[in-house]
Chains A and B, each alone.
Chain A
Amino acid sequence: MSQPAARLPLWVDFGLIPLLNLVAAFAVAGLVVALIGENPLDVARIILYGAFGYGEGVGFTLFYATNFIFTGLAVAVAFHAGLFNIGGEGQAYIGGLGVALVALGLDPYLPWWLLAPLAVIGAALFGALWAWIPAVLQAKRGSHIVITTIMFNFIAASLMAWLLVDVLNPGAGSMSPGTRFFDAEAVPPRLSEILAPFGVDLGGSPANLALVAAVLAALGVWLLLWRTRLGYEIRALGHNSSAAAYAGVPIARVIIIAMLISGALAGMMALNPVLGDQGRLLLEFPGGAGFVGIAVALMGRSHPLGVIFAALLFGMLYQGGSELAFEKPSISRDMLILIQGLVILFSGALENLFRPALARIFAPRAA
């Protein structure tokens, strides 16, 4: 990605350009909606109402956003190190195994507030483990991390399918492949229960304490990247790996650590659906959240605050999209996948599409 010569004012660079990219993505999506004979404005209204119009909708939006904050942060941390971690999906899946093993092993003994921190550790540990092998292969043997993490997504899917169908499946009485339910005492309360005394009505939405963990994780990532030596090394590596090497940054070690953090964040995404919502580990529970993380990180420009906003936007699209599927049966839920792809295209690969034109308008004239 070559830097254009002209420097733009900050608000253009970090405000106007991302906004224009987003508008372009939604304009194309709107075009497709119009093409199949629906009114894009109608669709936008339904999505907005579905996501924010009533308590339960807001709860669902927050629930989906929780997943995307975790996976978005995972991709963002790797981006800062100049690495593209496409393996968030697999790392989240294996992270779910970590959560489930902690919960299945300890749920007869521990109340939720003791079990949840252990589950966090389990999720992070297993997610990091799944990122560790691609990280080592990249750092020590130069195997391209994009390809290895893609392969590890598929390996994770096969491994988990085997575990959930043949090994951890309690057998009779369970309709879908998965583990048994965790003990009800081991499952943390939902936000709707916690906030009900304060007059906040989130209906039957599954948003839970994992949202708090996600926001804390975002804060932690910010502190790590901009307030610690390791964060500085990670960013130096991402900006210019040979300069970083000359400056004495241990490249291989920083690659591995950055990927471990990235994998741990992706793994922690599992807390939200597995421990917080379903109370059991189900086949294919990540449902593409790992990939949404790519769009979220690109849109949020890899900044934790940007990631939170982008995750909320995608949470809104997911919840509003479900509403849309009820109201407009002619529009498939897969519209979300299309929008996600368009956001990745315009905010990622085509991020400089509008830059030359804006540079002509805003760049200070050369003296």
Chain B
Amino acid sequence: MDWLTFLNVLDSAVRLSTPLLLACLAGLFTERAGVVDIGLEGKMIAGAFAAGAVAVFTGSAWIALLAAIGASVFFGLVHAFACVTQRGNQIVSGVAINFIALGLAAVLGHSWFEQGGKTPAPPVSGRFTSIDLPYAAEAAQMGPVGRFYADVVSGHNILVYFAFLAPFLAWWLLSRTRFGLRLRAVGENPAAVDTAGVSVARLRYSGQIICGALCGVAGAYLAIGLNAGYLNNMTAGRGYIALAALIFAKWRPVPALFVCLLFGFLDASANRLQGVSLPSVGVVPVQFIQALPYILTVILLAGFIGKAVPPKAGGVPYVKER
């Protein structure tokens, strides 16, 4: 593989890892608060559909983004109501949200746009288009490093840059602010937080709201950034890969960045390696590369590569002592 092809793969790796990264951080905020969420997939779908539909209606990418966040946060609140207020089973609630969002998007899309569940392509103003960073064109002439800047770093839309900034923001929020400390505490020992007079429920709701907002951005990126319009089930399991990435990153924001890049890179190279014969390995079935993130996660979970310890109170509804 020559340098240019490699840069090309890296470029698509960046594009493909963006939704993973956003969803992974979304999961991080709620799981660190002690609410397990396998409904990331559904929230992303809600966001993607809302973004796609609103972009068509209004022609504004920013209003579409807000709609995506709103739709996704709505499902976050449903999840929080079920898990925190009703103390229901968190896994069951997540599964339910995945199906509800998928079904609702298809039903509404089918009825509003009559294109078998997808939304029509929004106008250009309704999409996030790529931004050329300063001096990208000049840098492209200046050897391999310049090419890297021009091809991989420059030329993405604003949501990609936000996504790659987000892990650092998340790190700051979680480990340098009072809110972050409390959020993490409520995922480890809610009783202690409660004793200190801080509302467990409010913190867990906040975790779900942040989670919903980030999933909304991820969905909007899929529908009006990476693609033009919502397609049925366009998240294609990314919510689950994000969950895998979250475990892989051991529930920490900055490692999440690298894990998501790795998974994005695997995805990008799977497309590239179809039918290509590798030295000493032969032709690797493309399905194997697609399954690799899942296989790696299982191996990690089995404790063969380090140990992934989830937040202690994750998945357990908090009951005040009576």
Contacts and interface: CB of A to CB of B under 8 A. Distances in A.
Nearest to A160: B287
A339 B103 contact: yes
B91 interface: yes
Interface in A29-61: 32, 35-37
Contacts of B92: 84, 294, 298, 344-345, 348-349
A225 interface: no
B93 A154 contact: no
Contacts of B306: none
B95 A86 contact: yes
B117 A150 contact: no
B314 to A, nearest CB: 9
Contacts of A247: none
B202 interface: no
A155 B291 contact: yes
B62 interface: no
Interface stretch (B13-21, B82-90, B177-185, B188-196): B82-90
Contacts of B303: 141-143
A166 interface: yes
A335 interface: yes
B82 A350 contact: yes
B93 A341 contact: no
A1 B111 contact: no
A137 B302 contact: yes
Given A137-B302, A349-B82, A162 B102 contact: no
B139 interface: no
A182 interface: no
B111 A349 contact: no
A342 interface: yes
Q: How large is the interface on B (under 10, 10 to 19, 20 to 34, 35 or more residues)?
A: 35 or more
B107 A32 contact: yes
Interface stretch (B142-150, B203-211, B251-259, B292-300): B292-300
Given A144-B301, A348-B89, A159 B110 contact: no
Interface stretch (A64-72, A253-261, A272-280, A326-334): A326-334
Interface stretch (B120-128, B159-167, B215-223, B237-245): B237-245
A332 B83 contact: no
A126 interface: no
A149 B237 CA distance: 14
Contacts of B90: 349
A338 interface: yes
B227 to A, nearest CB: 19
A353 B93 CA distance: 13
A350 B92 CA distance: 9
B240 A338 contact: no
B281 interface: no
B243 A150 contact: yes
Interface in A143-160: 143-144, 146-148, 150-152, 154-155, 158-159
Given A36-B108, A152-B298, A337 B91 contact: no
A161 B287 CA distance: 7
Interface string B281-322: 000010110110011011001110000001000000101000
A352 interface: yes
A352 B108 contact: no
A36 B317 contact: no
Contacts, number: 162
Given A158-B288, A334-B102, A338-B99, A345 B117 contact: no
Given A36-B108, A334-B110, A335-B107, A352 B86 contact: yes
Contact of B87 (A2, A166, A335, A341): A2
A247 to B, nearest CB: 23
Interface residues of A, number: 50
B96 A348 contact: yes
B295 A337 contact: no
A147 B89 contact: no
A6 interface: no
A353 to B, nearest CB: 6
B97 interface: yes
Contact of B88 (A37, A335, A336, A349): A349
B98 A341 contact: yes
A63 interface: no
B310 A159 contact: no
Contacts of A331: 107, 110-111
A197 B274 CA distance: 54
Contacts of B152: none
A344 B298 CA distance: 26
Contact of B100 (A84, A162, A166, A338): A338
Contacts of B117: 332, 334
A330 B92 CA distance: 30
B38 interface: yes
A332 B301 contact: no
A338 B104 contact: yes
B247 interface: yes
Contacts of A294: 92, 95
A143 B103 contact: no
Contacts of B237: 154
A147 B95 CA distance: 12
Interface of A: 1-2, 32, 35-37, 84, 86, 133, 137, 141-144, 146-148, 150-152, 154-155, 158-159, 161-162, 166, 291, 294, 298, 330-332, 334-342, 344-345, 348-353
Interface of B: 38, 78, 82-83, 86-93, 95-104, 106-112, 116-117, 232, 237, 240, 243-244, 247, 285, 287-288, 290-291, 294-295, 297-298, 301-303, 310, 317, 319
Shortest beta-carbon contacts, A-B, top 5? A338-B103, A341-B99, A334-B106, A337-B103, A349-B93
10 contacts: A143-B303, A155-B294, A161-B287, A166-B285, A331-B110, A334-B110, A338-B106, A349-B89, A349-B96, A350-B82
